[in-house]
Amino acid sequence: MFSNLLVFFAIIVLSACDGDDEFANYTITDRPFPPHFTFGVATAAYQIEGAWDTDGKGEQVWDTFIHEKPDRVSDRTTGDVASDSYHRYKDDVRCMKEVGVDYYRFSIAWSRILPNGTVDNINTEGVNYYLNVFKELEANGIESMVTLYHWDIPTDLEKQGGWLNPKVVDWFTDYARLCYTLFGKYVKVWVTINEPKQICHSGYGTGGYAPGVVSPGVGEYVCARHVLLAHAKAWRVFDKEFRSALGSRNTIVIDSDWYEPATNKEEDVVAAEIKRQFVFGMYAHPVFKGDWPDQMIENVGEISRRQGFNQSRLPAFSEEEIALVNGTYDFLALNHYTTYMVTAVKGEEYPKVVSWDTDSKARSYQKDEWQTAAIGWFRIVPWGFGKLLRWLKKTYGDIEIVITENGVSDTTGTLRDQHRINYMKSYMSHLLDAMYDGGVRVTGYTAWSIIDNFEWTQGNNAKLGMYYVNMSDPLRPRIAKDSSKYYSHIISSRCLLDSCQ
Ligand SMILES: *[C@@H]1O[C@H](CO)[C@@H](O)[C@H](O)[C@H]1NC(C)=O
Ligand SMILES: *[C@@H]1O[C@H](CO)[C@@H](O)[C@H](O)[C@H]1NC(C)=O
Ligand SMILES: *[C@@H]1O[C@H](CO)[C@@H](O)[C@H](O)[C@H]1NC(C)=O
Ligand SMILES: *[C@@H]1O[C@H](CO)[C@@H](O)[C@H](O)[C@H]1NC(C)=O
Ligand SMILES: *[C@@H]1O[C@H](CO)[C@@H](O)[C@H](O)[C@H]1NC(C)=O
């Protein structure tokens, strides 16, 4: 009797959420990637380069954050050496050549070329390192997609407030202009800033990421405003002074999980939409539409008032700033990994807490039955990818989209990484369905990552590479996993299965 009741209850709960059921009998598509679709792999400077204080490189916030408190990383490793790509970038390029990628997305370490963050002190050896990487890629026929900022603001600038200081807009723009000048002829696509949500929410909200500033619901909004202004100003400089001569493109990379309503009830459907606005819209609306999402302005304004703030904790953009930020993209660049369910939060208790999370009036969670990867938050939910892509088209129009990161972790570094092959196959299948059935205009896919690297606060525990790197071996050999061969098959055949239509 008791168990019957439980089963009955479970049926009601399950039938209320559409996500999983809808794809219960999902089969991998045999439709091919179109001829002009391009494939790449991605890394970030701090996660691969090592050489943290070599050849005149200045200190940046992740060096400082981890050195001052090693237990901020779960296995107490650091990025001091990481995959040692500063010395072994030719090995990385050899791996990419073997897989057959069209392009390599990597980042420049601001403090390697500007040790103090400002352009009055340029480190020639750092500049030469990147020139060597570009030349190696060029010699191997691999194009460059370059991220200017992947979370590593120079420590000297952080000492002056970092992303909370309005001066960061000019510090970043000067740095960007220098990079366009030095490296422009090698770069096909520029990315100004990677994943502003992690920079601001984790870096200046919860403090879980460098620089570890704890200022939820206040600092993170100030950071977001400055990040968007810095991106916009650097994009405008590119647009005016470099675009026509270089013929390259420039955009911002925004990350988003998918947020699925937990039930079909109106309040949950609305809550999930608002959550998407707080996660993706917070950074995308200003760039693609011109201002913060209306629902954010309303929620943060209302809750701030009730909390006794004399103005909204969400700082407004002026008319000029809206005009500056609006339209600063060449295409939409998306990083995506996982999915959450969302329920509406009612009750009067939430406004006591000052945070971005409670400002959304939505609670998100992941289902226990979803398959998990090594990183705690990271569950494998392929259908969420397709839903997110269709939502992007609905929300931002018929815009070109490039996937700039997608991938999965493990803890063992196994070379027989069938789980990674399954992940790539099922995520890319939902991507193709969104293209064929939803008319979503995706033109490129970037796998994270080509080699195992240092995974931020998960250290060397979480491995995301298609090549294994033994982080205890001083020579850091790169060894192909099965997934690298599968990705190579996709690129050469343009097909997820053995053969396609
Ligand atoms: C999945 O397939 C089974 C067996 O063919 C069928 O009974 C079931 O209704 C299908 N489920 C969905 C959600 O389509
Ligand atoms: C510049 O950075 C270097 C390396 O981090 C440091 O040794 C030096 O003191 C800094 N100079 C200034 C003026 O802050
Ligand atoms: C942003 O630019 C678009 C296209 O020019 C325009 O339609 C829209 O009104 C602008 N947004 C704002 C808030 O000014
Ligand atoms: C809001 O309060 C702060 C101090 O909490 C004060 O510095 C600021 O001037 C006030 N702003 C307005 C618009 O009243
Ligand atoms: C990693 O390298 C260390 C040091 O060379 C070696 O002892 C160990 O066996 C290697 N591990 C694997 C899995 O190859």
Catalytic residues, by residue number, are: 405
In terms of DSSP H, where are the helices of 319-381?
319-325, 356-359
Q: Choose which residue among 59, 62, 122, 156 to substitute to test ligand 2 binding: the one with the highest number of ligand atoms within 8 A of its C-beta.
A: 156
Cα–Cα distance between 172 and 178 in angstroms, integer?
Answer: 10
Cα–Cα distance between 39 and 189 in angstroms, integer?
Answer: 14
Please state the domain extents for the chain. 4-493
Cα–Cα distance between 74 and 491 in angstroms, integer?
Answer: 35
- Taking only the tens place, the pLDDT of each residue in 291-335 is 999 999 999 999 999 999 999 999 999 999 999 999 999 999 999
Ligand index nearest the alpha carbon of residue 122 = 2
- The pLDDT of residue 55 is above 90: yes
Average pLDDT over residues 197-206: 98
- The pLDDT of residue 17 is above 80: no
- Using omega within 30 degrees of 0 as the cis cutoff, is the peptide bond preceding 15 cis? no
The amino acid at 180: Y
Average pLDDT over residues 187-212: 98
Question: Is the CB of residue 346 less than 8 Å from the CB of residue 265?
Answer: no
Nearest CA owner, ligand 2 atom 13:
116
- pLDDT at residue number 347: 63
> What's the CATH number for 4-493?
3.20.20.80
Q: Is 293 in the pocket of ligand 2 (CB under 6 A)?
A: no
Write down the pTM of the prediction: 0.95
Average pLDDT over residues 39-61: 98
Nearest CA owner, ligand 5 atom 11:
470
Question: Is the CB of residue 385 less than 8 Å from the CB of residue 435?
Answer: no
Nearest CA owner, ligand 4 atom 11:
310
The pLDDT-based confidence of 11 (bands split at 50, 70, 90) is very low
